[in-house]
Amino acid sequence: MINITPILCRAGTMDNYSYLITDKQSNISALIDPSEVGPIVTVCQAKSIKPQYILNTHHHFDHTDGNLELKKLYNCKVVGNEEDKSRIRGLDISLKKGEIFHIGSSQCQIISVDGHTIGHILYYFADSKALFTGDTLFNLCIGGIFEGTPEQMWNSIQKIKSLPEDTLFYPGHEYTLHAAREALYFSQNDKEVQKYLQTAQSRLAQGLPAGPFTLGEEKRCNPYLSAANYEEFLQRLNY
């Protein structure tokens, strides 16, 4: 089981979320997608934690920019998809699709989700019911399709939808309010979407992330997950 601390990076511009995770049994910690160094070091110092790993979901700079400096600072290992070997800064440990990686006694499954980039992966901690979705799944929307095809993105979304509904997911950016209008439009102001937004807004007002929400809530409220079929998904992409 892991503890999860979200760390807002690039606040006000890109609104990235990095995450500090700690295996409760061993106290071994890892950083997910260290976007920038400052806010991460502040949190690690306050908690007296020296992370042993950096886990990257994909190669984009706003997810990997802290890799080299944090690696020097904490002497930690950078972990990522073997397909991104040449693109992730300072990569030490290459992962294969479906592989199980361990943070102490916590098991983490590597799920490959091409679309936003080719080589994007998710980190799924089944025991903790936690899924780190990088730039593939956000609250009420999905990541831009930059390197893959819409069909690859659709297949990746179906993989996410097949995970248990009570899984909490942790996205790579805070985009909830930007996505709200679209979600309300496609849901025709469905009550559950309105409730989702109320919860998100009240958490944001307290200085917290909008999430986490469960995959079940997301399947009902996110227009890209609720699309009935591939045709509808394509229509929604062109919204």
Task: Using CB under 5 A, list all residues that contact Fe ion.
Answer: 60, 135
Which of Zn ion, Fe ion, none does 71 bind, CB closer than 5 to 8 A by kind? none
Least Cβ distance, residue 116 to Fe ion (angstroms): 6
The two structure tokens encoding residue 52? 């042993």
Q: How far apart are CA 33 and CA 60, in angstroms?
A: 9
Please, which residue, 2 or 122, has the CB nearer to Fe ion?
Answer: 122
Least Cβ distance, residue 228 to Fe ion (angstroms): 27
Least Cβ distance, residue 58 to Fe ion (angstroms): 6
Residue entry with tokens 């800064």: 89
Q: What are phi and psi of 223, to 5 degrees?
A: -60, -20
Which of Fe ion, Zn ion, none does 59 bind, CB closer than 5 to 8 A by kind? none
Please, which residue, 23 or 135, has the CB nearer to Fe ion?
Answer: 135
Q: How far apart are CA 145 and CA 7, in angstroms?
A: 25
Count of alpha carbons within 13 angstroms of residue 125, beta-carbon side:
23
Please, which residue, 62 or 65, has the CB nearer to Zn ion?
Answer: 62
Least Cβ distance, residue 33 to Zn ion (angstroms): 8
Q: How far apart are CA 95 and CA 121, in angstroms?
A: 9
- Interface residues with Zn ion (CB under 5 A)? 62, 135
Least Cβ distance, residue 57 to Zn ion (angstroms): 9
Please, which residue, 28 or 148, has the CB nearer to Zn ion?
Answer: 148
Please, which residue, 178 or 220, has the CB nearer to Fe ion?
Answer: 178
Which of Fe ion, Zn ion, none does 83 bind, CB closer than 5 to 8 A by kind? none
Q: How far apart are CA 196 and CA 140, in angstroms?
A: 9
What stretches of the chain show up as alpha helix (H) in DSSP?
Answer: 37-46, 61-64, 67-74, 150-161, 176-187, 191-205, 215-221, 223-226, 230-237
